[in-house]
Structure 1
Amino acid sequence: MIDKLKNIINNSSNIVFFGGAGVSTESDIPDFRSSKGLYNEKNNLFSSPEEILSHTFFFNHTEEFYKFYREKMIYSKAKPNDAHLSLSKLEKIGRLKAIITQNIDGLHQEAGNNNVLELHGSVHRNYCLQCKTFYPLSYIEESSSLVPHCSKCDGVIKPDVVLYEESLDDTTLYESINSISKADTLIVGGTSLVVYPAAGLIRYFKGKNLILINKASTSYDHMASLIINDSIGKTLKSALSLMDI
């Protein structure tokens, strides 16, 4: 399996990586839907995580949103793992042209990747709802109040993440479709491909090799030229170790 993956990478000139929560779990960031994920935690929340992370809840219960967001969604001490570092190497040698991620942690950029399309936004970008001034994550973390406010106009600051009931950014979506449609190899890693519309992007792939690397099976397995049910970080690191890069 690893030899086949290595050979496909060696014979590809336009690789796109599409990643989900399983890429970040190896950096000790919890996912949402697994048996140990955020949605299955036993807690005393008066609302479900899905409801708390919705557009309506943010505006109607901003303090409760931020209590949850600060505790469960921000992992600023997390570091890139073998998956992030391997993808950075693939970009540096010119094989990987784009990363499309459902994650909001910014670890791909920290690892050194430049062309990262963040479908669901990023915790590292935050903006004032009133004057649109942008703020880094550090401003949120260092805020003396639970709900951070703009230093210019005192407006409420919202994380630049896509909440439930909100649409994906049109530009990011278009660039993702364009990247996938031009790729000769699409590597899908760490995602069960059940979250739409993000998962539907796979249908735009017209290239030769669809590679699925995930610990569990997906509904797209029948379309794949290679399936590896293992750790994404371990798999990519092993393949690249055979390439002397």
Structure 2
Amino acid sequence: MSESRPVVTARLATSRVLPLETTDLGTLDDLVDLVSAGGLVVLSGAGISTDSGIPDYRGPDGTRRVEPMTYGQFTGSSEARRRYWARSYIGWQRFNAARPNSNHRHVSALEQAGYVDAVITQNVDGLHQAAGSQDVLELHGSLDRAVCLTCGEVASRASLHERMTQANPGFMERFAAAGHTVGSQWGEQVRPDGDIVLADELVASFHAPRCLVCGHDSVKPDVVFFGESVPKTLVDESFRLVESAGALLVLGSSLAVMSGYRFVRRARQVGVPVAIVTQSATRGDADASIRIHAPLAPTLDALGAALEP
């Protein structure tokens, strides 16, 4: 266990205080003991996918690196939807190329070995399933789908991308020609929702997708935007899983927003042990019986090795 250090704090966008200095609680051996007892529910955040090339939203102090489009902005105007889809059209191509990393594979292996009963993920990238995890609740939806807010028609993101390509000939070439002003931001600015920084003049030339059934431009990725509520059925099912778990293991989440933090709070309320593995401090540190502030990949490598027969 690391020695106590002065606590420095920063103000979150959610007006919560997040410690910048971290203090571990427990050891890897304690984590091994907890996981080996089984009945585990994993709660994963954006940090589990960063090794797949998908940056997370927040820096070490919990401050957002980028401001995502909110639900109110998206539904507020056709221009906002055009801006979202133009940026997402570019970002999706890198996002869709992402593949599971060792973190996802470790979680899948723990499930196959009988230690993990379910995964609740805040991510919309589908990488847990791609790695082989079977029982996954996508708390914030999936970018693989799009839904029309007017008539409810659901379409695959792949087919939607093909339609946008046909409606916007030469758009990728114009994006590439922007070179030093836009292209240099490609790596740093792809967000966990597949969005990307894009010049205003490119956005203005983009034709946003329309629903093939009702014709409206109210097509939205089937994900929960900031400012939008997680479906109650998913929240209730997640609470049920947490309440019946042997332990809750948080991987790669700052827990800065209530959509994930509430499950840590519920676990503590009902006496379910909470373990948190992230590199930075989290909003749920005070609720955890084990907290390890370390890079996720080597920690899970060590955990997997310790659990091997």
**TM-score, structure 1 length as denominator?**
0.86
For 1:3, the equivalent position in structure 2 comes to 29
Write the distance in 2 (CA, Å) between the matches of 1:35 and 1:176: 27
For 1:181, the equivalent position in structure 2 comes to 243
Inter-CA distance 129–218: structure 2 relative to 1 (3 Å threshold): closer
How far the C-alpha of 1:57 sits from its partner, in A, is: 2.9
How far the C-alpha of 1:38 sits from its partner, in A, is: 10
Query: For structure 2, which runs of at least 5 residues remain unmatched after alignment?
Result: 1-26, 168-206
* Identity of matched residues, %: 32
- Tell me, what secondary structure is at the counterpart of 1:94? coil
Q: Determine if the alignment matches structure 1 residue 202 to structure 2 residue 227.
A: no
Q: Determine if the alignment matches structure 1 residue 65 to structure 2 residue 84.
A: yes
Inter-CA distance 218–130: structure 2 relative to 1 (3 Å threshold): closer
- Tell me, what secondary structure is at the counterpart of 1:98? strand
* Residue 215 (structure 2) aligned to one of 130, 154, 169: 154
Deviates more, 1:66-75 or 1:218-227: 66-75
Counterpart contact for 1:217–1:229, Cα < 8 Å? yes
Write the distance in 2 (CA, Å) between the matches of 1:62 and 1:219: 32
For 1:122, the equivalent position in structure 2 comes to 142
Query: For structure 1, which runs of at least 5 residues remain unmatched after alignment?
Result: 42-48
Letter in 1 for 2:138: E
Higher-Rg structure is: 2
Inter-CA distance 36–71: structure 2 relative to 1 (3 Å threshold): farther
Pairing 1:67-216 to 2, within 5 Å after superposition:
67-72=86-91, 75-143=95-163, 144-145=166-167, 146-156=207-217, 157-205=219-267, 206-216=270-280
Counterpart contact for 1:183–1:207, Cα < 8 Å? no
Inter-CA distance 113–237: structure 2 relative to 1 (3 Å threshold): same
Counterpart contact for 1:31–1:37, Cα < 8 Å? no
Aligned residues: 236
For 1:244, the equivalent position in structure 2 comes to 308
Q: Deviations over 1:89-113 (max 9, x none)?
A: 1111222111111111111111111
Write the distance in 2 (CA, Å) between the matches of 1:38 and 1:103: 18
How far the C-alpha of 1:63 sits from its partner, in A, is: 0.5
Write the distance in 2 (CA, Å) between the matches of 1:215 and 1:70: 31
Write the distance in 1 (CA, Å) between the matches of 2:211 and 2:277: 42
* Residue 56 (structure 1) aligned to one of 57, 73, 81: 73
Letter in 2 for 1:110: A
Q: Deviations over 1:175-220 (max 9, x none)?
A: 1111111111110111111112331221111345311101112232
Considering only aligned residues, what root-mean-square deviation do their CA atoms show, in Å?
Answer: 2.4
For 2:16, the equivalent position in structure 1 comes to none
Q: Deviations over 1:155-191 (max 9, x none)?
A: 4321111112321111111111111111111101111
Inter-CA distance 223–36: structure 2 relative to 1 (3 Å threshold): closer
How far the C-alpha of 1:32 sits from its partner, in A, is: 1.0
- Tell me, what secondary structure is at the counterpart of 1:142? helix
- Tell me, what secondary structure is at the counterpart of 1:26? helix
Q: Determine if the alignment matches structure 1 residue 34 to structure 2 residue 59.
A: yes
